[in-house]
Amino acid sequence: MNRRDFLKTTGISLAALAAMCMGCGSSSATSGQTSATTVNEGSKQVMDTNNGKKILIAYYSYSGNTKALAEEIHRQAGGDLIPIVPETPYSETYDVTVARAKQEQQSNARPAIKTAIPNMEQYDMVFLGYPNWWGSYPMLIATFAEKFNLEGKKIAPFFTHGGGGEQRCASDLRRLLPKSDIQESLCLSGNSARSAQGEVSTWLKKLGM
């Protein structure tokens, strides 16, 4: 499937296509997941507190937009920044990844992840970020949610999208984590993820950070 077909299938406009591609640069994935050679490569484990809260920022990013947003949240809020890394990397060929993501969503798959969180209990607040894939979370977010105990924790979700907006990114996460305390989310288009200082600051204030 090419990008035009993807949009036709999903009903996203050509303007959205442009937005979707912006920030990706090319069909190549440039996120940490492709270059990761060890568990938690790219993580920044700077223990920090924010109003006494211990913070984890965990994110998946295929082409770098959500990663940029996660880094800005980390810059402003501190805490531990940990990328979620798939065991089997997503193809650098965009169409192949689009097809795999669709198949994984349709089969309710749980793609394995390499990510280790040594001590999830220590965190009071977990920022959880991902791109909008087919209207929802990439299925490895479900793997993450089931691998680590997030019950009772405050979860602050953040997403980037390619023109479709939030769609089911937040509502599906609420269904996935019914026993977590899901906070107001931050949703930005991928092409504004690298200049989101103001949006992040406003959102963090709303979260009481």
Closest distance of CB 58 from ligand FMN, Å: 13
| 65 interacts with ligand FMN by CB under 6 A | yes
Q: Which of 208, 177, 163 lies closest to 19 in space, CA to CA?
A: 163
Q: Which of 162, 173, 185, 187 binds ligand FMN (CB under 6 A)?
A: 162
Residue 42 binds ligand FMN, judged by CB under 6 A: no
Q: Site residues for ligand FMN, window 4-33 (CB under 6 A)? A: 10, 20, 23-24
91 near ligand FMN, judged by CB under 6 A: no
Among 61, 115, 180, 185, binds ligand FMN (CB under 6 A): 61
Interaction between residue 160 and ligand FMN (CB under 6 A): yes
Q: Say whether residue 164 binds ligand FMN (CB under 6 A).
A: yes
When asked if residue 190 is in the footprint of ligand FMN (CB under 6 A), the reply is yes
Contact call for residue 63 and ligand FMN (CB under 6 A): yes
Question: Could you give the 3-state DSSP secondary structure of residue 115?
Answer: coil
CB of 175 to ligand FMN, least distance (A): 17
| Summary count for the chain: helices (H), strands (E) | 8, 8
Two tokens, residue 57: 């920022």
CA distance 195 to 107: 36
Number of residues that bind ligand FMN (CB under 6 A): 25
Q: At CA 94, angle to CA 89 and CA 100, rounded to 5?
A: 55
For residue 158, give every residue at least 6 positions away whose Cβ sits within 8 Å of its Cβ, in sequence order, or none: 59, 66, 69, 70, 73, 127, 128, 129, 185, 186, 187, 188, 203
Q: Is 189 helix (H, G, I), strand (E, B) or coil?
A: strand
Q: Judged by CB under 6 A, does residue 131 bind ligand FMN?
A: yes
Determine how many CB atoms are found less than 10 A away from the CB of residue 68.
20
Nearer of residues 50 and 192 to ligand FMN, judged by Cβ: 192
Under the binding rule (CB under 6 A), the answer on residue 140 touching ligand FMN is no
Task: State which residue, 12 or 54, has the beta carbon closest to ligand FMN.
Answer: 12
Q: Does 43 bind ligand FMN (CB under 6 A)?
A: no
CA–CA gap between residue 78 and residue 67 (Å, rounded): 15
Q: Is 101 exposed, middle or buried (0-12, 13-18, 19+ CB in 10 A)?
A: buried
Which positions touch ligand FMN (CB under 6 A)?
10, 20, 23-24, 61-67, 97-98, 101, 131-135, 160-164, 190
